[in-house]
Amino acid sequence: MQFEYSAEDTAFRDEIREFIAAELPDHIRRRFRRGWRWTRPEMVFWTKKLHARGWSAPNWPVEYGGTGWSPLRKHIFEIETWVAGAPPTHNQNFDLVGPIVYGFGTDALKRQILPPMLSGDTFWAQGFSEPGAGSDLASLRTRAVRDGDHYVVDGQKIWTTDAEICDGIFTLVRTDWSGKPQAGISFLLIDRALPGITIRPIEMLNGECHLNEVFFDSVRVPVASLVGEENKGWGYTKTLLAHERTASARIPELRRDLALLKAHATESGLIERAGFRNRLAQVEIDIIALEFTVLRVLTDHHDAPAMRAASVLKIRGSELLQALSELMIEELGPYAEITYPVPTDWSEPWLADLPGPDWASGVMGGFLHRRAATIYGGSNEIQRNLIARAELGR
């Protein structure tokens, strides 16, 4: 075992740090460190900055325009990004649809889809969940029926993150009804500009509106937009999730919030109270353990399969996001009760008119939204089912 970062990895970290310090504008940094989500202009701006440096797809192979970094370097990059208050690389583009397209798509599809993602010109949204298919995703019913060179798509998706600002939606659709539910699902890319698509944002409990309902009404999608083979979409998605299993630990985000919480609690003096201080220390220890779990997955090929990693990381990552947010609103005290408007750009003109410290605006919003962390991405109850199934050998 080797417990130190190599000199090369440390130099790599410094290079990332210097890049962000030089390129990230203050208004973006400020908004992210308040806990608000990015807007499309911010995401476009930062993706283009990264693209100019060749870093917009940290986890893609070099041949598709990625960096070719090791999983450990990608981990370092993400921590530096979050802690500095820079937008993360667009998860749906770079962690989800991109790898499926270069893993299973035709050459024509790769040439069409990947370059504009890399350059920050197109953004994709994930259309998997449906009103009747949440935890039981395989029961999805949005149908795609072949008609000549097109599929005709009818149905409804829900909780589609970023659909309101996206250029296309990558979907799981039903193309066969005869066998097991998982066996009749295909992976289809749907251009948002096609006629018959209706997008309706869902206002969330914190005022944000980046989750959506998406309705497909006889949408004609070219057959060339099918990724891989018909009826194999479920398998592609599972393969992908096996490769991306450390993301759900949310270490970069936890590290950012932990640093901010410590700074604020030091400023307010709350850190001097033993009760608060010890609860914060307990959460910090849990985060350290989770980061070492991530490092085990990233660096030890013998250990990882045995450790039921994906579900453990998802459960702890989501629970710790919630635990940190609970401490953050406690630290903020009375101002946590305020309903701050969701900022739609960087100017935040209303801030001066409302009480509370200037960083208060995203704290309660984050707390409220994070109740969803134990629900999405396979609820924590589903994750426990998976762990138990593996442990009981069933």
Partner 1 sequence: MDFTLSVEEAMLKESIDCFMLDYASRRPASLAAPHGRDPTIWRSVIELGWLPAGFSEDVGGFGLGAVAEILIHEGIGRGLMVEPVLAATLAARVIALAAPEGRCAALLAPLFSGDRLIILAHDEPEARGDVQLVEAHAVRDSQGFRLSGRKAMIDSAPGADQLLISARIDGADLALFLVEASHLAGRMRVCRTIDGRAAAEIDLDGAVFSASALLAVGPQVANAINVAHDHAIVAAAADALGAMESALAITAEYLKTRHQFGVPISSFQALQHKLADMVVAIEQARSIILCGVAALSSGDSAERARGVSAAKVLVMTSARLVGAHAVQLHGGIGVTEEHLISHYFRRLTAFAIRFGGADYHLSRFVTSQDGL
- Residue 244 appears among annotated catalytic residues: yes
Task: Choose between 309 and 327: whose C-beta lies nearer to partner 1.
Answer: 309
CB 246 within 8 A of CB 297: yes
Active-site pick, 23, 213, 230, 244: 244
CB of 182 to partner 1, least distance (A): 22
CB of 269 to partner 1, least distance (A): 15
User: Residue 274: how many CB atoms within 10 A of its CB?
Assistant: 8
Quick one: tokens of 391? 């442990």
Question: Which amino acid belongs to residue 16?
Answer: I
Question: Which amino acid belongs to residue 281?
Answer: A
Positions touching partner 1 (CB under 8 A) are 1-6, 9, 72, 277-278, 281-282, 284-286, 288-293, 295-296, 299-303, 307-309, 311-312, 315-316, 381, 383-385, 387-389, 391-394
Q: How far apart are CA 77 and CA 352, in angstroms?
A: 34
Quick one: tokens of 86? 């820079």
Task: Choose between 5 and 350: whose C-beta lies nearer to partner 1.
Answer: 5
CB of 292 to partner 1, least distance (A): 4
CB of 239 to partner 1, least distance (A): 23
Residue 343 is classified by DSSP as P
Task: Choose between 191 and 284: whose C-beta lies nearer to partner 1.
Answer: 284
Task: Choose between 161 and 311: whose C-beta lies nearer to partner 1.
Answer: 311
Among left, alpha and beta (phi > 0; psi -120 to 50; other), residue 78 is: alpha
Q: What is the DSSP string of 200-236?
A: EEE--TTS---EEEEEEEEEEEEGGGEESSTTBHHHH
Task: Choose between 23 and 284: whose C-beta lies nearer to partner 1.
Answer: 284
CB of 246 to partner 1, least distance (A): 13
Q: Which of 268, 374, 291, 290 is nearest to 325 (CA)?
A: 374
CB 191 within 8 A of CB 125: no
Active site residues: 244
